[in-house]
Amino acid sequence: MKPVYSIVAPVYNEVKVLPEFYERVRKVMQDTHAEWELIMVNDGSRDGSLDAMLSLAAQDSHVKVINFARNFGHQVAVTAGIDYATGDAVILIDTDLQDPPEVIADLIAKWKESYEVVYAIRTKREGETPFKLFTAKVFYRFIYRITDVDIPLDTGDFRLMDERVANVLRQMREHNRFIRGMTSWVGFKQTGVGYIRKPRKAGETKYSLKKMLSFAADAITSFSFFPLQIMVYMSGFLGVMAVIAGIVISILRLAFGAEFFGGQATTIVLLLLLSSFQMFFLFIIGQYVARIYDETRGRPLYVVASTSGFVQPPAQHEPTNKPPYTVAMTVGFDGQEHG
């Protein structure tokens, strides 16, 4: 039977929190009195998380398990969960209980008011280092400024999306994935509910500084060509400098004689001019690269929310490229285990 709700939870070495996570999700979902499934994606854990998930799946048929062949990263794990989800609404949540499962009820309430994306906004973050708080704050504000989709401030991946939004995400096969940006990009009616982000229950963050930086790079390069556009400003700046240098040197030479500044003057002006030209053509190349990138990403050109007056809806185009991950095994999807 098709579930109403699919909960998608990425798991990477979370054996200590899994039982409580499952219990709390189960309680919340039971209160909805609707069909649900909990899809846990094991992202290459090495601490027995997989066994814990499999035994949950064995005792409760709501639980389904996707086991990655190795660690592919948080965003890809979430992607796999969305791909396998069959619910009318898909809910993304971290397993470390920083996102309290009880908030799911609030997300669902908004969905029932016919919002297609309901994201959870962290009104307060408890138990995180000042460094993490500061970098997160700067990061979200920077992303907000330079990207061309409105990615809401202070939201993580904790969110609910309607099946229609999930279907668009399933067509977006780009390899560097920034899920929260992608759900914003899709459009539809979106809203947020506030919650207090809790400290991690156990275990430690899997986001090292290195992973955070590469996450930030994904976010920026997936939603903005800003880095490629910087060069045109550089070029302009150097060009203006060349003109100013030319004028200043001419005036000085007219006033103090032709020997002033020796042979360096022309070199400086030429250097500035040439650098300005080079920067400009680098910018042009950057624009072509940006277009190639845009094409290869293969995102849908547009997303239709509704149509009116057509006899038959146009055919949906399936994505042609393969999913960006390799699954070692799935459990619970049709009651069987696939090796």
Burial of residue 17, with CB atoms counted within 10 A of its CB: 0-12 exposed, 13-18 middle, 19 or more buried: buried
11 interface partner picked from Mg ion, ligand UDP, none, CB below 5 to 8 A per type: ligand UDP
If one asks whether residue 12 binds ligand UDP (CB under 6 A), the answer comes out as yes
What is the number of other CB atoms lying within 10 angstroms of the CB of residue 50?
Answer: 21
Q: CA-CA distance, 119 to 125, in Å (whole number)? A: 16
H or E element in which residue 91 lies: strand 89-92
12 interface partner picked from Mg ion, ligand UDP, none, CB below 5 to 8 A per type: ligand UDP
Contact pattern for Mg ion over residues 47 through 86, marking x by CB under 5 A: ----------------------------------------
H or E element in which residue 38 lies: strand 36-42
Contact pattern for Mg ion over residues 81 through 120, marking x by CB under 5 A: ---------------x-x----------------------
Least Cβ distance, residue 149 to ligand UDP (angstroms) = 21
229 interface partner picked from ligand UDP, Mg ion, none, CB below 5 to 8 A per type: none
If one asks whether residue 74 binds ligand UDP (CB under 6 A), the answer comes out as yes
Least Cβ distance, residue 1 to ligand UDP (angstroms) = 27
Q: Are 104 and 180 in contact (CB under 8 A)?
A: no
If one asks whether residue 235 binds Mg ion (CB under 5 A), the answer comes out as no
H or E element in which residue 41 lies: strand 36-42
If one asks whether residue 159 binds ligand UDP (CB under 6 A), the answer comes out as no
> Among 40, 50, 77, 331, which residue interacts with ligand UDP (rule: CB under 6 A)?
77
If one asks whether residue 65 binds ligand UDP (CB under 6 A), the answer comes out as no
| Phi, psi angle pair for 98, to nearest 5° | -75, -30
> Which of 30-38, 73-81, 139-147, 306-314 is the region at the interface with ligand UDP (rule: CB under 6 A)?
73-81
If one asks whether residue 205 binds ligand UDP (CB under 6 A), the answer comes out as yes
Q: CA-CA distance, 65 to 38, in Å (whole number)? A: 8
Least Cβ distance, residue 119 to ligand UDP (angstroms) = 15
If one asks whether residue 104 binds ligand UDP (CB under 6 A), the answer comes out as no
> Among 67, 79, 95, 276, which residue interacts with ligand UDP (rule: CB under 6 A)?
95
Tokens describing residue 201: 């229950």
In order of 38, 306, 309, 315, 316, the CA distances from 312 in angstroms are 35, 13, 9, 9, 12
207 interface partner picked from ligand UDP, Mg ion, none, CB below 5 to 8 A per type: ligand UDP
Q: CA-CA distance, 59 to 15, in Å (whole number)? A: 17
181 interface partner picked from Mg ion, ligand UDP, none, CB below 5 to 8 A per type: none
Q: CA-CA distance, 217 to 64, in Å (whole number)? A: 32
Q: Are 180 and 216 in contact (CB under 8 A)?
A: no
Q: Are 298 and 173 in contact (CB under 8 A)?
A: yes
Which stretches of the chain bind ligand UDP, using CB under 6 A?
10-12, 14, 43, 71, 73-74, 77, 94-96, 98, 205-207
